[in-house]
Structure 1
Amino acid sequence: MTSVRAWDKTRVIVAPVVFGLACLGIWQWLVVAFDLEPYVLPSPGAIGEQFTDNVGLIAKAASATALNSLYGLILGVIVALLWAGTAASFRLVREASAPIVMAASVVPIVALAPVLYAMFGQSVQTARVLIAALAAFVPVYVNTLRGLLTVAPIHRDLMRVYAASPWQITRTVTLPGALPFFFTGLGIASSVSVISALVAEYFGGPVDGLGRAITSAVSSSRYALAWAYVVGAVAIGVIFFVATSGLERVSLRRR
């Protein structure tokens, strides 16, 4: 029985690694077999070589993008939680804010980024942080609000029968029931905040971050280097997702 469980845990790690290596092998074979030009698709070997040779530059650019994404994620989550709590408590706020949230969810970054750069200036990171915050706000707000409203009325009525205070009802019934919904939104937000901050870097701001680095590499026809910067962006997204997943696991286990 113990060996079966150990194999199941090992398979969770081994299977994705084997599949990923197989995909890289097929990718390398396609590039060599069809003699693809680097501007069409560079080989994994060339990308890996550029990543190794420029790991310091990639790490520096990735740290700038990661910080903007993190600040935006934190800001978006805080605003979303406050807004969701208010909307769950007051129906008027919930109904009035629905069109605003819907509009925020469909705002294109390509249109918003230049406007924010004009408002706050090209020399600061404010626009990038706000774009990441807006992207993170929507999934956290929607999922948290749904969680707060999902608690069955019978559970609240039972707590009132036992003379529980509103805060006790919130702490023991409402918040625990909404927690899984919140982490669902947080998992989505952790990814879209990185994507949004990265895309915002294409349209201006300080000369740092992965978005500007990718643009610069492509403009100088260093396509394998551009893909190496993309690998750095993927690494940030994986780190954010793993961190939020770990936080979810610890929080739900304690609950």
Structure 2
Amino acid sequence: MTAAAPSVGVPLPPRPGRLLRMGRTVRYYVPAIMVFIGVIVLWELAVRGFGMQAFILPAPSAIGAALVENWGAGRWPLFEAARVTLFEAVGGLLIGTTVGLIVAFGIARWATARDAVLPFAIAANAIPIIAIAPIFNAWFGITNPLSKMMIAALLVFFPIMINVTRGLTQVEPSALELMRSYAASDWEILRKLRLPNALPYFLTALKVATTLSLIGAIVGEYFGGASNVIGRVVVQSASALRFDVTWAAILLGAITGIAFYLAIVALERVLIPWHSTVRGEHPG
């Protein structure tokens, strides 16, 4: 009897299902990419064709040149500005998320807390951020990054609190009844039912909160702060009529926001790979 030959590990081709999902994802983003390229081309042609002045609308090529010129040096070092602004936004995201989670768990657990806290939370969300920014700068220090973090945290708090509260409370009645029929404790219901149900809600709110935190940080910077931040670069370059730098700073802020958002999307893929938003079930 001869011994069986040892099997050699051969990489298997990707499963058809995975290839199908990848193709669907590519098709989903291709129209947006094509529209973006078309807008850039038309923008460049319009500026050159109509001879627009830079203070009205600089050409994309001029904005790109300003971004390269001021990337790490010059009067407005844009990379350093993006790094500091991102630091403020991340700090605000952490503060706002922490407070939002604490309040959400309290509201979901006690009806009295909901009646006491929710009106104040709604009122805080209704305050225009442009009105509260100078006050926070005065409270925490105009050059202190904490003032920008608190402005960002105020924007982040509400969507986190509302979405997590919904996730904790809007569970399937049949699943809740089943767990209670097995005499599950409140802690077991929270750990095995409410938290898994709330996780997609939380990550959805977190994706919204990333952009809100960046907006809050930049708005706070606009009203004063260190010179090496995106908000101050926008103000100072516009005052010096360097609108190519102004647009470059705006572009860098947008790129930073997209990167921040995609980081949460990657986290979502790790934490809830079973959810429809992760499996690539895009609309259409």
Instruction: Pick the aligned partner of 1:60 from 80, 84, 92.
Output: 80
- The answer to whether structure 1 residue 153 and structure 2 residue 158 are counterparts is no
Report the 3-state secondary structure (helix = DSSP H, G, I; strand = E; otherwise coil) of the residue aligned with 2:272: helix
What is the TM-score normalised by the length of structure 2?
0.85
Measured after TM superposition, the shift of residue 206 of structure 1 is 2.3
Structure-2 separation of matches of 1:9 and 1:203? 40
Which residue of structure 2 lines up, in the alignment, with residue 80 of structure 1?
100
Structure-1 separation of matches of 2:215 and 2:143? 21
- The answer to whether structure 1 residue 11 and structure 2 residue 27 are counterparts is yes
Structure-2 separation of matches of 1:27 and 1:218? 20
Which residue of structure 1 lines up, in the alignment, with residue 4 of structure 2?
none
Query: Cα deviation per residue 1:156-199 (whole Å; 9 max; x = unaligned)?
Result: 22112112222111111111111111112111111111011001
Which residue of structure 2 lines up, in the alignment, with residue 46 of structure 1?
62
Would you say the 8 A contact 2:137–2:220 is kept in 1? no
- The answer to whether structure 1 residue 127 and structure 2 residue 143 are counterparts is no
Q: RMSD in angstroms over aligned alpha carbons?
A: 1.9
Measured after TM superposition, the shift of residue 247 of structure 1 is 1.0
Measured after TM superposition, the shift of residue 107 of structure 1 is 1.4
Instruction: Pick the aligned partner of 1:200 from 191, 197, 220.
Output: 220
Q: Structure 1 stretches of 5 or more lacking a match?
A: none
Q: Which of structures 1 and 2 has the bigger CA Rg?
A: 2
Structure-1 separation of matches of 2:119 and 2:25? 45
Instruction: Pick the aligned partner of 2:117 from 75, 93, 97.
Output: 97
What is the TM-score normalised by the length of structure 1?
0.94
- The answer to whether structure 1 residue 164 and structure 2 residue 178 are counterparts is no
Q: Structure 2 stretches of 5 or more lacking a match?
A: 1-14, 276-284
Number of residue pairs matched?
A: 255
Which residue of structure 2 lines up, in the alignment, with residue 216 of structure 1?
236
**Percent identical residues:** 35
Which residue of structure 1 lines up, in the alignment, with residue 135 of structure 2?
115
Structure-1 separation of matches of 2:109 and 2:81? 42
Q: Which amino acid aligns with 2:37?
A: L
| Greater share of helix | 1
Which residue of structure 1 lines up, in the alignment, with residue 40 of structure 2?
24
